Amino acid sequence: MTETTDAKTRIKDTVTANPVVLFMKGTKAMPQCGFSSRVAGVLNYMGVEFADVNVLEDADIRQGIKDYSDWPTIPQLYVAGEFVGGCDIITEMTLSGELDQLFETNGVTFDKDAAAKIREANG
């Protein structure tokens, strides 16, 4: 088994085992880049339980997630095993209410009031 196959398997196992996964630089408690911090901040503020995967700890995962999603940047958010997007897409979806709908459709618990506050503050 090659390292890339192993990384792909680990990524697939992670995104299918967890309802919400954020592949990011750093951790949800200590993000290590602004974009990762923004997405983790939105999820934390909305009270979403999510698995965080620190791509800085594993070069195979860092490259593997880009290949897996065919998306060149980190962070990457997955909901119900599906790639949702990176920082700009998550920001847009949060402000439009699409992220709320995605969470509701997939049975992900989140704080609707917090989501509304984000929109109010950025409206």
Count of other CB atoms within 10 angstroms of residue 107: 8
CB 53 within 8 A of CB 64: no
Mark the binding-site residues for [2Fe-2S] cluster, compressed into ranges: 33
Q: Identify which of 83, 82, 30 has the alpha carbon closest to the alpha carbon of residue 52.
A: 30
CB 29 within 8 A of CB 36: no
Mark the binding-site residues, compressed into ranges: 33
